[in-house]
Structure 1
């Protein structure tokens, strides 16, 4: 719970938001340092001021009110503000809690949630090795062997990284090190963390630090393989869809113009964006097959429908692509069921509310 009065918090968020939007790093740092001087603890500044501003950056981009360049610039300001805050507070933090490795799973490029956790743990006395975004599992394991941490915290914001997260969890546990996970990819209540065998899950940085304050996580049990956690993978649908991703995207693009005639008038940029959207759909379908959870695909399509609507593209344009994919995967019963269910949802409900299945902090 926030320790900052609501009115004060909203005012400070507004100051930080304006500074981030205008690329004014010094104004953003002044706002954050002013909050510290007013007696607001550094942890609350991180989680009640900086994190909400970054969430708003993502929301404004999704609503087409920020360009990609503006989103990147605002995110960069927030990142530098965290660095300034970290330098200012470094002398006050007392180590002694142990070593924690904090990293994003392979191909996860939303680094801010992990960065916030690393800073919170450092404030609470941990020696933190923050490895940043997109850490290959083999490199992570090498680092663990060198450092011997008490815990590894893995972050992922994009659900399509769950297979990579599963591999990382299993590999880290094989070193005898417990794994705490967090981030939007693991579900609203951590259902995918449990599914993939993580030793603990936390919905946010404060909760993660609180869990570690309670005492060490239990050491993982005997080494196992991902198939032990997910026996449905024996049908190979996930593997085959993943391996044929490029061919599936090409097949959908080749057939889509006949099903959605408006596409014939697309510009080169629109055509490219459509191909990217279809590739994302295939990725989320594959991840839904991996977890055996159709809601993962449905949530992504709801989010995509909202994005398309904000950009003036009808959400129903997704349905022909789903039908073509279903035809291409006629020998994959789980995939067909998920795609048909998703198409029915879009057809019946129109544009659904956006989900957090693809957004970061």
Structure 2
């Protein structure tokens, strides 16, 4: 298995021996654009109109793309034909957490058409989450129309993943070490399964479809029940590190505090900006980010506001370091960090810029994640979709009824 989220393929070449590459290039452009005309595909790829016509026809024949007439005609003559990704191809997305397991079905066009969340016993074992995920996949599959075909399963892991074989190296809050989650879930579902770190997945999902779209230099932070992770996109490419474990921005030390994060490090961003503290503040258990957000935005007591402001200030201190180091165009905040941003974005940005090198911070924008609560569902689904896009004519798609617990 390889890391599932890649930058778009290079420009296609008008040669038959690279037809597969051209097919992949066109499918990527269609997915990233949402909808695109044949003439725009011709301009973007450098391929001639005849070749584009053949490639689009093949994608349609394989059920990966659809063509429709433009809603508004651009002038005289026939309306333009617009190409978009098929809604009849889906991938399952899985997000195991310490308190819940979430499974969704996402179409090739990026729509989340189903999502189920099941609360888990405290500190579930890998097998508990695997079985729960498999049962949810089977349940959703049974409810899907027979027209759907399945590309596979993507898993957003709150920890470090060896993507080559689907092994979770270390998920600190779950206390999972060297868990063969991918192979075991694949055996249960009889589907290909791909894993990656949740923040890495979220980073590229926001780059392709969310608030970071259109930017080439981005810092992304995601915070959930498993702690804080992140990613940096530099010149359009995500920094992964020599072994693929780069982006652990939550473990950067920002304080002399002796409070520890989930990996045992003191004074880090993850140690001081904690979802658990907010859940305890509002007496919530197993809450979704939407439920937590409602409590934060309607907070009534001064004591509760003080807790939230402290977390905002710690977050700003961490961001000031990342802005100084990476000089990004944009900072994107996902998970419950979106709630902190929405509570007082002015305070957050002012403190971040005050503690960053001035020239590095003068043009940066800070945004909440655009994909909202579906961020990790869309991101995880990109893992099998990436495999499909690399080989559109040869990748095996399963019938939705195939995804049953074995």
TM range (shorter): 0.3 to 0.5
The one of the two structures with greater contact order (alpha-carbon pairs below 8 A, sep at least 6) is 2
Q: Which has the higher strand share?
A: 2
* TM value normalised by structure 2: 0.30
Q: Which has the higher helix share?
A: 1
